[in-house]
């Protein structure tokens, strides 16, 4: 099994309302992917509620049977379209992929 976790931290928000709107956009963009691709075993997204300065804002947490299925996800038209759509949101990202 392979776990794929992505964290996003917004960098271009000028207000809490703007941040909330951008986080909703990320949820709308990435949330449906878990139901679109049959090789995803588990898939969830979440918005951070902790106000710590070191906290990230949004996460994607997913599980795949193997590295090949993760690669299929990353290269899928659905994922690539989501990445393109989310590119207008200013953010930094961190990723970890590990086997368990």
What would the pLDDT profile of 5-56 be if each residue is shown by its tens digit? 999 999 987 788 999 999 999 999 999 999 999 999 999 999 999 989 899 9
| Tokens, residue 30 | 């990435």
Give the domain ranges of the chain: 2-99
pLDDT score recorded for residue 16: 87
Residue 53: Cβ-neighbour burial (10 angstroms; 0-12, 13-18, 19+)? exposed
pLDDT score recorded for residue 15: 87
| Alpha carbons 95 and 4: distance in angstroms, whole number | 7
Options 3.30.70.100, 3.40.50.360, 3.40.50.300, 3.30.70.2740; CATH of 2-99: 3.30.70.100
Check: pTM over 0.95? Answer yes or no.
Answer: no
Cβ atoms of 4 and 73 within 8 Å: the answer is: yes
pLDDT score recorded for residue 14: 75
Burial call 18-42: b when 16+ CB within 10 Å, e when fewer: eeeebbeebeebbeebbeebeebee
Condensed to tens digits (0 to 9), the pLDDT of residues 50-87 reads: 989 899 999 999 999 999 999 999 999 999 999 999 99
As a whole number, mean pLDDT of residues 82-99 equals 98
| Alpha carbons 17 and 10: distance in angstroms, whole number | 13
């Amino acid at each position: 099994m392979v776990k794929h976790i992505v964290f996003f931290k917004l960098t271009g928000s000028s207000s809490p309302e703007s941040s909330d709107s951008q986080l909703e956009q990320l949820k709308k963009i990435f949330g449906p992917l878990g139901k679109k691709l049959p090789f995803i075993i588990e898939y969830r997204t979440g918005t951070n509620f902790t106000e710590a300065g070191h906290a990230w804002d949004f996460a994607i947490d997913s599980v795949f049977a193997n590295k090949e299925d993760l690669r299929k996800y990353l290269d899928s038209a659905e994922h690539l379209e989501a990445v393109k759509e989310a590119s207008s949101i200013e953010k930094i990202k961190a990723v970890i992929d590990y086997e368990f």
